[in-house]
Structures are given as structure tokens and as C-alpha cells.
Amino acid sequence: YNGNFDSVTDCCVQVVESLQVDLAPTITIGVRMIPASTATRMQRRGRTGRGRAGIYRPVDCLASHGGVVEDATIAEVFDTGIVWYNFGIDHLKRALQAYNEQQGLPNFVSSYEDIAALYEAISSYNTLPEVGVCRTEGYSFALLTGIQAHLCREFKAPAPNGSARWAKFNLKGNAPVPLICNLDDVCTLPTVECDVRQKMMASLGIAINCNLAILGTGVVLIGLWQVCDALSCVVIKNDFELSTVSGKDVLSDPSLWDDLLEECAATVNLGEYARQAQDLAMKAAT
């Protein structure tokens, strides 16, 4: 956005970093294109005709929401603070809280506690040589990149994807990739579990420890549900109410017949018929 232009044609879109907790296996970091915000369009308009009349041509009259901080930016704060300045997680959280309390600044879309827990689980790997290479090269998300490169070398695995950030490490091998997260692109190669990945999953609250019997029971239940969903249906045909009162006690209660007598003409003697019916019912019950 340097310089002074007589005219500017604004495409009205912008590229932003994105972070998604998709549990595949932990997070996915990349870029996406969204409609330009009002702040971005004001910056582009301000480069048109400085000190004189200029022509600003937007291709769209609408703008996206502004005044928010994406989750990827918050993750980059923790990554940069740990790698470049050796800050602790608590210090970075206090700095983010102080920023968020300032009026007039963009606010956080979501809480930064989950991202803080994720980086707290891997902050001890800051001293890896691969992390230092990423810092020297100026890579974004240097800590995540360095840890992933170190694990690929240790497991003799290739690069997770074709991103240019892996070219510096010359990763070669045929073993499954110890994937901890997706950077720039998804990994389509076979993957394998590792300790770092387990720590990151536990920090996100998605780590589950169970024995083989529980897993087998779960697989059977899922299979039955899939078969039922695909081939049949479940229909409630009848329901029963359980109680401690027996049918004999209910039928032998004489007071039940009081509500069954209807008001009739005095010439019709229904009382005698009612008593006879009551006697027959009590005999049948006994």
C-alpha cells in the first residue's frame, strides 16, 4: 500500500490466515479468501489521489465484517512470542488480555485459552535445531514447522505436503508421517502416532484412553446402528407401566363402582344390577 495512484481498481477481496480445530489430527492452518473488510477498503481508497483528485473503482459495494482478530493471528502471537522472544505462556496471555481490553481495537473472535493450552504443550520444543532454522528463514508458525520437520527426520518420513516451507529441510523417506497438524495444505500420506501429537490432542481435550474391550463394544454398537439405519427402522409398538399394585387388589376395591353408576329415573332399579355385577367381578378376581 505504498505510493500515490491516480486511480485504483479494488477487487474487494482479501487473503487472510485461517485456523480450524478440525481434529485431523489437531488443527489445520492455511489461507482463505474473503470479501474485503471496511478497514481494508479504506486503506486502498486512501492510496488514491493523495493531495489531488483520484478515481477509486470498487468492483463490489458490499464489505465483510471488520474489527475482529482471527484465531490464526492469535496462534501466531504465541508462536512468535515463544520462538523469537522466549516469552512464557502466562506472559503472552496477559499481553493478549491487555490488548483485548483496549477500546477501539479489533476484538478476538473466540477465546485464546484453547490456543494457549495447545502451545503450552509444545513450548518445551523451542530449542530444536529445526526451530532455529525456521526462525532464521523467517517462516510463519516457526515452532510448529520446526517440530514437524524434526519428527519427519526422526521417523525417516517425507514432507507432509508439497508446501515450500519444507524445501529447506530436504525431507526424504518412505515411512508414515508423524503428523501433528496441517500447515498450508492437508497431508494425504499415511500417518503414524507420536508423543507430540498425543500432547497436542490432550491439550485440546480430545485424547481418549480405553482398553480393547471398550473399543470392541463400541465398534459392535456402531455396526449395529449402521445396519439398522441402512436396512431397517426402529418403531415403538407398545409401552408398559410397572407398579407395585396387583390387578386383584384393584378389581376387589368396592369404591371403584361408585363412579360407574349413572343418574337414572327413579323407576329404574340400577342399584341391584350394580351390586350383582360387583359380586360377579369379585368372585372372578378371587
Residue 88 confidence (pLDDT): 95
The arithmetic mean of pLDDT across residues 151-170, rounded, is: 94
Q: Which of 86-90, 157-161, 278-282 is least confident?
A: 278-282
Answer yes or no: are the C-beta atoms of 45 and 1 closer than 8 Å.
no
Does the pLDDT at position 242 exceed 70? no
The mean pLDDT of 223-251, rounded to a whole number, is 61
In the structure, what pLDDT confidence band is assigned to residue 177 with cuts at 50, 70 and 90? very high
DSSP secondary structure letters along the chain: --S-BSEEEE--EEEEEEEE---SSS-EEEEEEEEPBHHHHHHHHHTBSTTS--EEEES-S--B--SEE-HHHHHHHHHHHHHHH---HHHHHHHHHHHHTSTTSPEESS-SHHHHHHHHHHGGGGG-HHHHHHHHHT-TTHHHHHHHHHHHHHTT---SSS-GGGGGGT---SSPB----EESS---S-B---HHHHHHHHHTT------HHHHHHHHHHHHHHHHHHHH------------S--HHHHHT-GGGGGGGPPP--TTS-HHHHHHHHHHHHHHHH-
What pLDDT digit, counting tens, does each position of 39-80 carry? 888 888 877 776 677 888 889 888 877 778 889 999 999 999
What the chain holds in terms of domains, given with CATH numbers, is 1-208 (1.10.820.10), 247-285 (no CATH)
Instruction: Considering only residues 164 and 38, tell me which one the structure prediction assigns the higher pLDDT.
Output: 164
Residue 1 has pLDDT above 50, yes or no: no
pLDDT at 215: 63
Mean pLDDT is lowest, of 38-42, 142-146, 201-205, 210-214, for 210-214
Q: Give residue 214's pLDDT.
A: 65
pLDDT for 68 equals 84
Q: What is the pLDDT of residue 269?
A: 61
In contact, 41 and 58? CB cutoff 8 Å: yes
- Give the residue with greater pLDDT, 131 vs 250: 131
CA distance 55 to 52: 10
Q: How confident is the model at residue 236 (pLDDT cuts 50, 70, 90)?
A: low
pLDDT band at 279 (very low <50, low <70, confident <90, very high): confident
CA–CA–CA angle 219, 225, 227 (5° rounding): 105
Mean pLDDT of 31-45: 86
What number is the average pLDDT over the span 139-166?
A: 95
Q: Is the pLDDT of residue 108 over 50?
A: yes
